[in-house]
Amino acid sequence: MPEDIDTPDHDVSTPGTAVTSSPGSDMNATADSYRNTQRRTGARDTPRGEGGASLSASRLNRTLQMGYLQRKYTPYRTPRTRSMVSPAADRTNTQEVAAQPDWSGLVRCSLNVHHVTPLYRCRLDRAGLKQLSGGLSLHLAQLATAADGNLYRVAVTAKENTDDRIALEITVKRKDTTGRAGSLYAVLCNMEGEVSQLEQGAFTVLPLLLMTGPGTLQNAVVSWLEQRFDCRVCPMSFQPSDLLWAMALGLIRGNNEKVKKQTLDLNYDVPLKEAGLDKISLQIPIKHAQALLSSVAQDTENDLQLDELYLFRQALENHMFDYFRIHLDTMKLSLVATPVLFVDKTGRLKILSVDHVPAVLRMMTSFAFERSPLTVSLKAANESRW
């Protein structure tokens, strides 16, 4: 059908195919009619004028293609698909369970997410780690006031994952109290890139930093990291599309029976604060949300497409409009809570079940990679036209 030629390309890796079709979109054209009509707002060309007097947009586009007038797209765009399923190493395999690192320190506490530029001269062997512990405790002692001089005990360890990835784990405990009150726990890891990418010359790439603990301690650890490794640690904030990906991960992977409230919570920020309304919270039973997502998504086992996620969001917003006459699409999504995880737009994360920690970390690492300065500047260069 001539319309298919003008649907935008869904494949990230082929450049310059914004107005041509690819085999993927042809397959999509033969899918449900519901999905096709829902997709009409994105892609259709303008209707042909009557009597053939005016040139149709599809013919115009095709002649332009033949005339080679097209913008080149670099590969650094927002990814349109994400894998919701972890690689085979994550699946519960009784022989490999013992080799899994223990992520229980990250579960059920409020984590602040930061992204980190590559670390310079980070030695992860035993001697190096001892040096790091000593350095951090010295730094904390310098920052502490005279009254509580030697209050903190610092431990820096490395955690090995099944496929030889190393994560750096920092624990700062108060000497006088037991338990987790007043102590900090931080993990620096990289769950997404290939293992060979972890060391690039003298640099170690560990872009994701998750920290939990008192604010002053967090600031102290961040300043020590920046000093010691000559890197930048920036708090990560999530855009609504990132929150949607996290929600999809929570819906697809999540059946966490221990949580009392099995609902999907979405909080929207209302733009006009003077009206007295600050935010709108939408709660949906988790089974309905999962049923909706599986009806919209073609293949929840492996990859989820961005368009399918947008369809899900559109369905919820239309439902809200039909019943309450509230346009949720003028508002910004600020918080997503599922039984498995809880994500905020300011960068707070809470994981409620230890089985899903590797998958969540993988998604967070891919977000951190998208925010690294190199990809950001390449995206900006791509956007600027004239």
Partner 1 sequence: MAAEEEREMSEVLPEEILKPFHKMPVRNAATVLLVGSYGTGTQQLAKAMVDVCTDTGLKLQVRTTTSLPLPEENADTRPRIDYIVFIIDLTNRLSFSTVQSAVQCVDVEYFLGRACFVVTNAKGTSDQCVEMEEVSRLADMYNTMYICGAIKEGDQDERTTLANRLLRLVEVSAGRKNVSPLLVDLTCRQLCFQEEQTEFYTV
Minimum CB–partner distance for residue 46 and partner 1 (Å): 5
Minimum CB–partner distance for residue 250 and partner 1 (Å): 20
Minimum CB–partner distance for residue 113 and partner 1 (Å): 16
Query: Which tokens sit at 36?
Result: 């096709």
Nearer to partner 1, 120 or 321 (CB): 321
Note the residues at the interface with partner 1 (CB under 8 A): 3-6, 8, 14, 16-22, 26, 41-52, 54-57, 60-61, 64-66, 68-72, 77-78, 237, 239-241, 271, 327, 329-333, 383, 385-386
Distance CA 294, CA 243 (A): 18
Nearer to partner 1, 40 or 258 (CB): 40
Q: Is 303 helix (H, G, I), strand (E, B) or coil?
A: strand
Q: What is the DSSP string of 164-216?
A: S-EEEEEEEEESS--SSTT-EEEEEE--SS-GGGGEETTEE---EEEEES-HH
Minimum CB–partner distance for residue 68 and partner 1 (Å): 5
Minimum CB–partner distance for residue 27 and partner 1 (Å): 12
Residue 223: φ, ψ to 5°: -65, -35
Minimum CB–partner distance for residue 67 and partner 1 (Å): 9
Nearer to partner 1, 99 or 380 (CB): 380
Interior CA angle at 119 toward 76 and 375, to 5°? 10
Nearer to partner 1, 45 or 265 (CB): 45
Nearer to partner 1, 12 or 141 (CB): 12
CB 111 within 8 A of CB 349: yes
Minimum CB–partner distance for residue 195 and partner 1 (Å): 31
Nearer to partner 1, 61 or 137 (CB): 61
Element (H, E) at 306: helix 306-324
Minimum CB–partner distance for residue 346 and partner 1 (Å): 10
Per DSSP, 61 falls in state H
CB 227 within 8 A of CB 220: no
CB 167 within 8 A of CB 101: yes
Nearer to partner 1, 77 or 350 (CB): 77
Nearer to partner 1, 217 or 247 (CB): 247
Question: Can you name the residues that pair with 174 across neighbouring β-strands?
Answer: 152
Spell 291-313 as b/e; 16+ CB within 10 A means b: ebbeebbbebeeebbbbbbbbbb
Nearer to partner 1, 155 or 306 (CB): 306
Minimum CB–partner distance for residue 57 and partner 1 (Å): 5
CB 267 within 8 A of CB 345: no
Tokens 């927002």 belong to which residue? 78
Distance CA 336, CA 250 (A): 9
**Residues contacting residue 370 through CB under 8 Å, at least 6 positions apart:** 78, 79
